[in-house]
Amino acid sequence: MKFFVDTAEIDAIAELNDLGMVDGVTTNPSLIMKSGRDILEVTKEICELVDGPVSAEVVAMDSDAMIAEGRKLAEIAENITVKVPLTWDGLKACKVLSGEGKMVNVTLCFSANQALLAAKAGATFISPFIGRLDDMALDGLELIDDIRTVYDNYGFETEILAASIRSVNHVLECARIGADVMTAPPNVIKALASHPLTDKGLAAFMADWEKTGQKIL
């Protein structure tokens, strides 16, 4: 499963990227707002830092304007993925932009039927939002599973980019189901390394090592 990092914070992306943990980046208008940066500038910096796909989201509501914004965003770098919302206009923009050879990420997906439409419109990635379904007492992971089944039934090549990931358990379950990609905030990716038994075991090793009085260096 590929790891995308869901942030527009350069330092956080760089730290994970240095460890080889970043296969791509996703941003959205809320993340750009949080960064306090200009969208074109910060997206260019991210694209220079990371080799993989970098999603930058259009903000227009009608397809013609989305297409124009998508073309402008795609000029930033070769690894830009134009992100469009899963609306009828977004699907029209997806069809046109993917037809021009641009990578397109269709976002705000909350049903397998929506994911089916995005695949038929030529999406490179579909972004189903797990956490926001869980917030409504629905089952976000079930949606990932449903989309996996539907795409596999017909051999769609659109990659399932599991988004709105809030916990390490979401990451594990996405990997079990077979999501192609998961995008998570930096703190969730870093939390994957933590386990209380690792901390406990390390403390015991250090206590015993202290008793030996030895040094390695």
What is the contact surface with ligand G3P in residues (CB under 6 A)? 6, 26, 28, 129, 131-132, 163-164, 166, 183
Whole-angstrom Cα distance, residue 210 to residue 142?
49
- Beta strands per DSSP E along the chain: 2-6, 24-26, 54-57, 80-85, 103-109, 125-128, 159-162, 181-184
Tell me how far, at minimum, the Cβ of 151 lies from ligand G3P, in Å. Answer: 19
131 vs 178, beta carbon nearer ligand G3P? 131
Q: Which amino acid is at 166?
A: R
Tell me how far, at minimum, the Cβ of 71 lies from ligand G3P, in Å. Answer: 23
Considering the candidates 34, 83, 95, 190, report the single residue annotated as catalytic.
83
26 vs 114, beta carbon nearer ligand G3P? 26
44 vs 166, beta carbon nearer ligand G3P? 166
- Our answer to whether residue 72 is catalytic in this structure is no
71 vs 110, beta carbon nearer ligand G3P? 110
Tell me how far, at minimum, the Cβ of 166 lies from ligand G3P, in Å. Answer: 6
Q: Which amino acid is at 177?
A: I
Q: Are strands 125-128 and 2-6 parallel, antiparallel or unpaired?
A: unpaired
Catalytic site positions: 83
